Amino acid sequence: MIEFKNIHKSFEDVHAVDDVSLRIEEGELFGFIGPDGAGKTTLFRMLNSLLIPDEGQINLFGLDPVKEYKKVRQIIGYMPGKFSLYYDLSIEENLQFFATVFGTTIEENYHLIEDIYKQIEPFKKRPAGKLSGGMKQKLALSCALIHKPRLLLLDEPTTGVDAVSRREFWEMLQKLKEKGITIVVSTPYMDEAGLCDRVALMQNGKIHAVAPPSEIVSQFSDPLYTIKVKNNYKSLQALRQWEFCENVYPFGETLHYLDKRNNVSADVIEAYLSSQQLTFDKVEMIQPDIEDCFIALTHNVG
């Protein structure tokens, strides 16, 4: 079990982590979802003992990262946001180096990384700097896993990686979870939230919600409408002028609309759009997704 209790951390005048408390169970795949600057990296660095909290306690499987940092560092496999590989060393040399540094051998824990490493093994003589984003990511994951950590701590592992590699990466994480490794991951991509057991939505150093993704979505009680219009820009302006508009924002090709009234129907909205001479395809009530929830949760704050 990992527990954060009232954690605060400031850098000069920036409150990077602001009173964070939460629990992560052993064996869980837990995601911190939030944009750049939300405080995810700072939180991770306090968990892995690289930073000391200004206030509050962290409990990592019964260890205190401040006092017992040596033990903590042994049981964490950490992948920082920037790829931490040596670009001038080959795949094999990178892996060999991290294995030796953590006091183990590639053979000893090969079973853990086999699925991942097999995919890049054909290129093992190639320098890490010449690999594609997806391959670098697989190598970095192999290096983080090589000492059989209890906790895998991945800071924005999918940033800058294409959709196919991202999908593959999450599949790898699912397999690792089945092997009993606790995985804590951060990501700015809302669509990755659904792949975690539980997520924490984070912005400006604060946690806005902690729950399984499905629960976060079901907590969103207001009716949400999707509006497909011909001209997004004009329609946005027009809907904002409307007295009943709670919030309206672009969502892909369509607009998402929230009304101040509780029992409004699609017809009413269509009627308003017509009255404004706006061409529209259709107005429908839909289920919100994590991104809608994030917007709703942070809308009033920022």
Partner 1 sequence: MNRFIAFVKKEFLHIFRDYRTMLILFIMPIAQILIFGFAITTEIKDASIAILDKSKDEVTRELTQKLLSSGYFNNDAYLTSESQIEPAFNDQRVKMVVVFEPEFGRNLQKEGTANVQLVCDASDPNQARMLSQFAEGIFASYASQGVVKGIQPEVRMFYNESLEGVYMSIPGIMAMILMLVSAMMTSISITREKEYGSMEVLLISPLKPLQIIMGKVTPYVMMALINAVSILALGYFVFGVPVKGSIILLLMECLLFTILALSLGILISTVAKNQMVAMFMSMFALMLPVILLSGFIFPVENMPLPLRIISNIIPPKWFIIIVKTIMLKGGGLLYVWKETLILIGFVVLFVTLSVKKFKIRLQ
Partner 2 sequence: MDKKKVITVENLVKKFGHFTANNNLNFHVDQGEIFGFLGANGAGKTTAMRILCGLSSPTSGKVEVAGFDVSHQAEEVKKRIGYMSQKFSLFEDLSIWENMRFFATVYGLSSSEFKARGEDLLRKLNLYKERKRLVSTLSLGWKQKLAFSVAILHQPSIVFLDEPTGGVDPITRRQFWEMIYEAAENGITVFVTTHYMDEAEYCDRVTIMVDGRIDALDTPAELKKQYNAASMNDVFLALAR
Q: Which residues bind partner 2 (CB under 8 A)?
A: 34-38, 132-134, 159-165, 167, 188-191, 203, 228, 231-234, 236, 249-253, 291, 294-295, 298-299, 302
Q: Using the rule CB under 8 A, which residue among 30, 102, 280, 294 binds partner 1?
A: 102
Instruction: Tell me the C-alpha distance between 47 and 28, whole Å.
Output: 16
**Site for partner 1, residues 263 to 292, rule: CB under 8 A:** none
Nearer to partner 2 (CB atom), residue 25 or residue 281: 281
159 binds, among partner 1, partner 2, none (CB under 5 to 8 A by kind): partner 2
Q: Is 103 in the site for partner 1 (CB under 8 A)?
A: yes
Binding mask 133-172 for partner 1 (x = CB under 8 A): ----------xx----------------------------
- Residue 228 CB neighbour total at 10 angstroms: 15
Q: Name 23's Cβ contacts closer than 8 Å, sequence gap at least 6.
A: 1, 2, 3, 4
Q: How far apart are CA 256 and CA 251, in angstroms?
A: 6
Among partner 2, partner 1, none, residue 188 binds (CB under 5-8 Å by kind): partner 2
Q: Which of 17, 29, 51, 184 binds partner 1 (CB under 8 A)?
A: 51
Q: How far is the CB of 105 from partner 1 (least distance, A)?
A: 10
The residues, ordered by sequence, that sit 6+ positions from 260 with a Cβ below 8 Å of its Cβ are 244, 245, 246
CA–CA distance, 9 with 39 (Å, rounded to integer): 9
Tally: H helices and E strands in the chain:
10, 13
222 touching partner 1, by CB under 8 A: no
Would you count residue 56 as binding partner 1 (CB under 8 A)? no
Taking the least distance from each CB to partner 1, the nearer of 143 and 207 is 143
β-bridge partners, 283: 227
Of the pair 49, 165, the CB lying nearest partner 1 is at 49
Residue pair 277/204 in contact by the 8 Å Cβ criterion: no
Span from 25-33, 46-54, 157-165, 234-242 in contact with partner 1 (CB under 8 A):
46-54
Is 69 among the residues that bind partner 1 (CB under 8 A)?
yes
Those residues with Cβ within 8 angstroms of residue 215's Cβ, 6 or more apart along the chain or in another chain: none
Closer CB to partner 1, residue 79 or residue 196? 79
Q: Which of 134, 135, 149 is nearest to 78 (CA)?
A: 149
The minimum distance between CB 282 and partner 1, in angstroms, equals 48
Distances (CA, A) of 141 to 39, 120, 260, 268: 22, 12, 47, 52
Between 34 and 53, CB nearer to partner 2: 34
Are the C-beta atoms of residues 266 and 284 closer than 8 Å to each other? yes
CA distance 270 to 257: 12
CB nearer partner 2, residue 4 or residue 294: 294
Q: Which amino acid is at 4?
A: F
Residue 162 contact, options partner 1, partner 2, none, Cβ 5-8 Å cut-off depending on partner type: partner 2
Q: Can you give the binding site for partner 1, defined by CB under 8 A?
A: 11, 45, 48-52, 69-70, 73-74, 76, 78, 80-89, 93, 96-98, 100-103, 127, 143-144
